[in-house]
Amino acid sequence: SFIAGVGNIYADEALWRARLHPLRAADTLHEREVRRLHRAVRQVLRQGIANRGSSFSDYVGADGQPGANAERLAVYRRTEQPCYRCGSRIARILVGQRSTHFCPRCQPEPVASVHP
């Protein structure tokens, strides 16, 4: 199966699970980080499907029931709330005009490498 894109909710959640900062460039990821991110994307998508999606406002599924995944999210829309993993406050930044939520401690900002 193929997907076009995971969307903000699942991107934020997968990056948190993989412990990757949202500003980290894809071409800087090591092989083990790519595997960790791949595994995290699969996990958050499976969780979302199992919980019938993430209902915000008036969204309901085809069966008329709201999704139950929103209450299981670790970072998305949890700005200033404590991280479930470390207790730090969840932060929100704009990446490409879109809100992105992450834990500054669990997902440290990438350090630019300096070459002499």
- Looking at 2.60.40.10, 3.40.50.720, 1.10.8.50, 1.10.40.60, the CATH number of the domain 7-102 comes to 1.10.8.50
- Higher-confidence position of 67 and 29: 29
What does the pLDDT look like over 46-84, one tens digit per residue?
Answer: 988 777 667 666 667 677 777 767 788 999 999 999 999
Nearest to 92 by CA among 44, 18, 22: 22
- Higher-confidence position of 35 and 50: 35
Other Cβ atoms less than 10 A from the Cβ of 83: the count is 20
5-9, 28-32, 87-91: the lowest-pLDDT one: 5-9
Q: What is the mean pLDDT of residues 14-31?
A: 96
Binning pLDDT at 50, 70 and 90, where does residue 7 land? confident
